[in-house]
Structure 1
């Protein structure tokens, strides 16, 4: 009985350490607890990337016509020495190129490498992910009416067309272009995966 009590205390302490979804306004930097958030999103972190199922979806977030950046390194333990860092054209740092594999799990099957909004699914089996899982990893609130701290005039688009369903349920298929706007949208609404 005592062992069960200790296990429950440890489990509840670990669960409490995972950050809650942020309800603040943009920007939303990469959260620190990448692997705990990946587990919360339903993923099992791995020691390296698998490419049996390899798809890229794209996410843009605009607040009053200005782009809110999707940061690099979401879903990646960037502190692991096996995770390579590389300079980005905008002066930020990208993450990935895990070789040799990490000694311990360091990457989620759903992650970002660069600040370009491309959501990478790289896994050992075909298993399409959903936008809600990505927002869980990013630790940003997302529902039908809110993104982060914005809960008015929020709209969703998939491949340039208005989307009125649950945005957390949007499947991240290859070359899908997802746009979330708050307030005044950009003109035109992006409708194609960036080349």
Structure 2
């Protein structure tokens, strides 16, 4: 009887251990180890809009003054530049926005870009980063054309004279932030599109803006 009870006790212990996932020892023919937990590789966080919102009102300054006011000598000074002409009528009038960050710090876009010699179809009024697109009829304008009117370089290796830093380009349409990996100059200036050029350290929190009713 003792032998029978011992056998039943050992069998019950084996079943219990198996149900609990415990290793079986001293039972012969070992059942193998439990499967390893899956390895989770951290992913790069998505770009998020900042919690604090800057209202884009006429005259507001966004960032620290970095470049001289207006277009440079190689920019727009009265003659057509890169397909951008002097303004005749403003039957088509929209606004886009440009932010340039260097290691997370905003650099103010100069006032009065495109207002030398004439008022160009692309221009700025203040240091808000708001780009005024004004022309006689709706047509496509690009970031490269703005920089041409400004008279500053724009590439993956040089943005407005700042070079030697990694360049990341993001754009925000209706609170959806995406990275632009193509030619920077080809990025279109559409109504209320916010473009952020990051120089140096990548910021996963992108500045958030709200458009004033006048814009």
Category of TM-score, reference length = shorter chain? 0.5 to 0.7
Q: Which residue of 1 aligns with 2:129?
A: 117
Equivalent residues in 2 for 1:121-136, closer than 5 Å: 121-136=133-148
Contact 1:161 1:191 in 2 (8 A): no
Are 1:190 and 2:207 an aligned pair?
yes
Cα pair distance change 1:176/1:135, threshold 3 Å: same
Secondary structure at the aligned position of 1:134 is classed as helix
Bigger strand share: 2
Structure label with greater radius of gyration: 2
Aligned residues: 141
Q: Tell me the C-alpha RMSD between the 2 structures.
A: 2.3
Q: Which residue of 1 aligns with 2:158?
A: 146
Shift >6 Å, 4+ stretches:
none
Q: Which residue of 1 aligns with 2:186?
A: 169
Contact 1:55 1:173 in 2 (8 A): yes
What TM-score results when the alignment is normalised by the length of structure 2? 0.59
Equivalent residues in 2 for 1:36-185, closer than 5 Å: 36=77, 39-46=80-87, 50-77=89-116, 106-147=118-159, 148-159=161-172, 160-185=177-202
For residues 153 and 38 of structure 1, the distance between their equivalents in structure 2, rounded to whole angstroms, comes to 33
Secondary structure at the aligned position of 1:133 is classed as helix
Contact 1:37 1:137 in 2 (8 A): no
Contact 2:169 2:195 in 1 (8 A): yes
C-alpha displacement of 1:40: 2.5
For residues 38 and 180 of structure 1, the distance between their equivalents in structure 2, rounded to whole angstroms, comes to 28
